[in-house]
Structure 1
């Protein structure tokens, strides 16, 4: 083979190796099933946490409200820079009715807040890995035949 052909082979192999390495770094660790309409808000919170820990962005997008998915689901850049949340030692509390005037909840017929606590092992530095964080997820839907969708999250 000529030098030119060897150079092309080297470039192609480099691209393949970099792509495979990037996938190992950011690819899903496992696939988490998307909760059905019969799942409770607590079960959806569990699926959200499991999907986040597994880097299953597809399940996370399926759980998040369509208009909030870009805000809640990490990007591949976040995954490469290790700024995705990885939590452990989590506990999920009982869901309760939730409603706040002036929020994005207008138009949803059923809204539930699920309190959680966890220890964040990996993040952008805004959480301490040595203490448990109190957090919560707000899920909403318009009827019993719809899946719960994540519409907000934070300290409740």
Structure 2
């Protein structure tokens, strides 16, 4: 009985998915409107991007400061004493570090939600069927990134409209 129920559920899901794909594929080309967005530009414009970078730098500075402090306090001590000192300092640092990492994650999550909301609102307002990032960053060496277009022809660039909408989304949250 249970196996039969699983088979029926699978057939139902496959038929629904098949219908969705067939109906989308059967759409006339004129019905499909594709939007393109320079996601790197949008991420750079969000205020949390700078806050995230500042927080990461603060975290790095604090870790370096604590390492220098450990090095200074550990001079002339035995390996066991240095290890005990390090454990004490790490226990003291852990709640501070965890709070900073949690704050960073909250900023990242909010930035993502804001950007998706702005893209969705612009796409719906313009009647777009699909929105793609206009390019992707590809590493070409250890120190160099190259932006390569994902779409070479067609589509509507909505980056500026998304940036304007993003400003509205962020402003509404700050009220």
| TM-score (normalised: structure 2) | 0.24
Bigger strand share? 1
Query: Higher relative contact order by CA 8 Å / sep ≥ 6: 1 or 2?
Result: 2
TM-score under structure 1 length normalisation: 0.26
